[in-house]
Structure 1
Amino acid sequence: MSTASSKTSKKPNVIWIFGDQHRGQALGCSGDPNVHTPNIDNMAASGVHFANAVSGIPLCCPYRGSLLTGRYPHLVVPGHEHRLPPEQPTIAHVLNDAGYHTAYFGKWHLDGHHEREGRAAHHTVPPNRRGGFQHWIGYENNNSQWDCWVHGGEGEEAFHYRLPGYETDELTNLLIAYLDEQSKRKDEGNDRPFFAVLSVQPPHDPYLAPERFRQNHNAAGVQLRPNVPNVPRVQEQARKELAGYYAMIENWDWNIGRILDALQGCGLADDTHVIFFSDHGDMHGSHGQFRKTCPWEEAIRVPMIISGEKSFYGRRTGKSNVLFNHVDVAPTTLGLCGIDKPDWMQGTDLSSQRLPGRPAVSLPDSAYLQLVVPTGHGNSVDRAWRGIVTDDGWKYVCMENTPWLMFNLKEDPYEQVNLAHNTVFAGERKRLNDRLRQWVADTGDRFDLPEL
């Protein structure tokens, strides 16, 4: 094992760790009384916690396409079970060219496999459709945490096997083994930096967790958010599912602690940025809704923490209120590595929020929100919509040709007073509609907004 005094990489390493359907409110550091997340909370304390991070599209496949490319969903992966175009460059290609070793572990969901074609866990993503990552062990999709299959390699070295335990634990084991390998290479004088991604399915439904985490949660003890309506069937489902959801998050937090310990033990902690986030949230009964694809806070707000890498030495720490959208993750990651984003990335490099030496950029005045292609699934919004969240605390969302939702989040954080059809706020509505129209134009999107 190397030590903290070992030779360090010329460029910093970066790790992405993210789960699926983990809403930003469901953290100890975000004030949720139902969950204990000491390792994530420590990351927030030693790093930058972006309290206004959003998922610009609260749906798995489109989010992931934008995550890897820094481009908006309508240009890359517009809907559920749509394929990431193989010719589309990703952040992995940029970092490969910059001398990084790139690795991906876990859920992919970008190969366009359809449920009607059979179980996605048994679908094999060919090497040319793995986003340019040099080392890839993953799966297309899986909703069975104790029956998770992964594959990778190619030709005679291809493999496909069932993980021996709970998905989050086992995928974390794979990342830790990779970190140990990188440490050994560093000890041998190979200071090639790495970019590693760990993508786990939990806390996505089904809401199941190992017993030692589940035993701390039961339906009766869950404190519901104030915007969960007093409707028995809604509250019953929300409580039942949240008990498992919080147990899954606490298991995830435990595994994140294992990753941080491994970095420290390998002597890589001071060389490695760790970025923690989620693809989108989960409604869990708020406004009577469940799952995702809708623009309310529980679905679009996500965790976003940049930590690690000499945490208290010349690095900004604390809470940031800067709007951070999904298309900003890749450009910001490149910025942390001292690499300018390529022209084809549309997002903003917000690395100066963590590294004072990075060039300052114009901070976004709003974040663009979309549901491009509805899934048609139950518990999902079945209409396309577009919206924005602004830096002065407003949210505005339209379905085609009509306003739908409008909230002043500063006075109404639980979105209980819809102002979209209140003439008293007609001036504000027009301002927001005009800004949304500009987003549609600037991103090359097509959507018929109302004429106000």
Structure 2
Amino acid sequence: MQRKQQEAGHSRKPNVIWIFGDQHRAQALSCNGDPNVRTPNIDNLALTGVNFVNAVSGFPLCCPFRGSMLTSRYPHSCVPGHEYQLPSEQQTIAHVFNDNGYDTAYFGKWHLDGFKENEGRAAMHIVPPDRRGGFHEWVGYENNNSQWDCWVHGGEGEHAFHYPLPGYETDELTNLFIDYIRKKGEALEADEEKPFFAVLSVQPPHNPYIAPEESRRRFNPAQIKLRPNVPPITNVQEKSQEDLAGYYAMIENLDWNVGRIKQILASTGLERNTHIIFFSDHGDLHGAHGQEKKTLPYEESIRIPFIISGEMSFYNGRKTGKSPAMMNHVDIAPTTLGLCGIEKPDWMEGTDFSSHRLSSRSMVNEPDSAFLQSPTARANVDKPWRGIVTKDGWKYTCFEGFSWMLFNLNDDPYELVNQAHNPQAVYAGKRKELQQRLMGWIDQTGDKFEVPYG
């Protein structure tokens, strides 16, 4: 059996899986330097794969990111805000994989059917089969903010189902995902395997910051080390430490489940032919600059973990290490297709960065920056904004007609000194340069926004 599986790993089309949580900032991994959290399984993914250390969430909000993740379309032309519906006519990455002979499956949080929480509990909303992104198998929920009372649904007609998971969300969704992989392993052993693209989307570490006791007991809020940009205001620091204790516990629980997935891939022999992509939809501020949650363009909000790995790293031609590529939400689908040797369709707007993992893939003309946007106002900021972050470490954001932020992240990684209105030549010149580049992004993507100049 083992020899058959090893030979299949060389001869069959590669599989690929996505594993991602919600609101997991890039900084909150031990491999990325966080002293509070231990993530050995995710760290191993980084060590045997490629860690995209410049990855960002171009719109740090759940629904817009997910729309861009699946379609490689920017939010202003796809899912422009919270509780907006993915256009029914819009194809997704699942359709492309389907057309290339893959099985496709999605497990977990969806949040793309436009259900409004003020109309009831989203966990009770049934996403119609024709609005499930084209996945062959779909077991999920629209939205849910109660990790111990998570309901999932799927199927259609007489085969439709809707039931509460029996335990903690991340554990139970991982159980469903593992069952799917186990069946794929059985198909491989029977020489009946089709390549597959499978997604595991969990809500943790999104608030409320509740984790299983075995994960939570390690964290004492008073011992949480805060980032230097959390202001020395007692109530801000105490709230941040209390929330982070649960947040880190949720991340360690997610890491444990990543280990479980690695184990089932190994036991079925699928690990030798499966790419694993680990990421998040956006970050969480946790008191940075006195702010909470997301939607602001600060580093803790926009930076996401993004790792491409899998045991395929032991084959020749698999690159490892850290990549400086400016990975954005629209680049996830093209890059995933590229890992499987599938060219992106014309309607996808993002860049294929698979050459950073596979020597066999040709380098493309990569962007020198990532486009940031919030086309709709949100709780943390009451007006739309646009921005840009560059590979050489600069960030600029603005409201319509008015500059907002300018940071040199090389010298000021915690964004403590805003230079947006500093008249010194070095900052005034850089501001104009970034405004020009931002206007280029707006024109290139068909966006509409008045960028100040000068």
Equivalent in the alignment of 1:426: 428
Greater Cα shift, 118-127 or 302-311: 302-311
Equivalent in the alignment of 1:341: 344
Equivalent in the alignment of 1:406: 406
Identity rate, percent: 65
Deviation at 1:78, TM superposition (A): 0.2
Deviation at 1:360, TM superposition (A): 1.0
Residue 275 of structure 1 aligns to a residue whose secondary structure is strand
Distance in 2 separating the partners of 1:311 and 1:339: 19
Q: Is the 8 A contact 1:172 1:198 kept in 2?
A: yes
Deviation at 1:449, TM superposition (A): 1.0
Equivalent in the alignment of 2:243: 241
Equivalent in the alignment of 1:167: 169
Q: Is the 8 A contact 1:59 1:80 kept in 2?
A: yes
The alignment's TM-score, normalised by the length of structure 2, stands at 0.98
Please say if 1:17 is aligned against 2:24: no
Deviation at 1:313, TM superposition (A): 1.9
Equivalent in the alignment of 2:382: 382
Please say if 1:105 is aligned against 2:107: yes
Unaligned 5+ segments in structure 2 are none
Distance in 2 separating the partners of 1:230 and 1:257: 37
Deviation at 1:309, TM superposition (A): 4.4
Deviation at 1:263, TM superposition (A): 0.3
Equivalent in the alignment of 2:197: 195
Equivalent in the alignment of 1:363: 366
Equivalent in the alignment of 1:52: 54
Listed one character per residue, the Cα deviations across residues 243-276 of structure 1 (whole Å, up to 9, x for unaligned) are 0000000000000000001100111000100000
Q: Is the 8 A contact 2:216 2:249 kept in 1?
A: yes
Q: Is the 8 A contact 1:6 1:267 kept in 2?
A: no
1:324 to 318, 324, 327: 327
Distance in 2 separating the partners of 1:267 and 1:235: 47
- Superposed, which structure 2 residues align to 1:46-445 within 5 Å? 46-314=48-316, 315-375=318-378, 377=379, 380-424=380-424, 425-445=427-447
Unaligned 5+ segments in structure 1 are none
Q: Is the 8 A contact 2:152 2:164 kept in 1?
A: yes
Q: Is the 8 A contact 2:48 2:311 kept in 1?
A: no
Greater Cα shift, 192-201 or 318-327: 318-327
Q: Is the 8 A contact 2:279 2:306 kept in 1?
A: yes
Deviation at 1:10, TM superposition (A): 2.0
Deviation at 1:312, TM superposition (A): 2.4
Q: Is the 8 A contact 1:6 1:187 kept in 2?
A: no
Distance in 1 separating the partners of 2:251 and 2:43: 12
Residue 423 of structure 1 aligns to a residue whose secondary structure is coil
Equivalent in the alignment of 1:451: 453
Distance in 2 separating the partners of 1:59 and 1:52: 18
Distance in 1 separating the partners of 2:374 and 2:235: 27
Deviation at 1:364, TM superposition (A): 1.2
The alignment's TM-score, normalised by the length of structure 1, stands at 0.98
Residue-pair matches, total? 449
Greater Cα shift, 95-104 or 365-374: 365-374
Q: Is the 8 A contact 1:2 1:184 kept in 2?
A: no
Q: Is the 8 A contact 2:6 2:272 kept in 1?
A: no
Q: Is the 8 A contact 2:25 2:282 kept in 1?
A: yes
Q: Is the 8 A contact 1:369 1:387 kept in 2?
A: yes
Deviation at 1:451, TM superposition (A): 3.0
Deviation at 1:6, TM superposition (A): 5.3
1:29 to 28, 31, 55: 31
Distance in 2 separating the partners of 1:185 and 1:135: 16
Deviation at 1:232, TM superposition (A): 1.1
Distance in 2 separating the partners of 1:192 and 1:169: 26
